[in-house]
Amino acid sequence: MTRALIRPEKCGECQPCEVQRQCAMKAVFREDPNEQPWVDFYRCSGCLKCKAFCPNDAIEAIRHPCDGRARMGW
């Protein structure tokens, strides 16, 4: 299973965050407007369209295998 991850060292903390604004699954959140955004793995579909929206190239694809019992270990 593939999910998007925002690399904090690359994130420019854009205001507004295009990744957060454009995510069709509404998987990108900010606890506070001044904090870096993060991806909710349970909402993220793994489409990785967000990579095209990030001007800082801060989105990385991560892969996590199924545990063999049809459950993800996120």
pLDDT at 69 over 70: no
Confidence of residue 1 (pLDDT cuts 50, 70, 90): confident
User: Which among 1, 2, 38, 3 has a CA at the least distance from the CA of 17?
Assistant: 38
Domains, the chain, ranges and CATH?
2-63 (3.30.70.20)
Task: Indicate the pTM of the whole model.
Answer: 0.79
Q: How far apart are CA 73 and CA 15, in angstroms?
A: 32
What separation in angstroms does the CA of 61 have from each of 51, 65, 70? 9, 13, 21
Strand partners of residue 61: 4
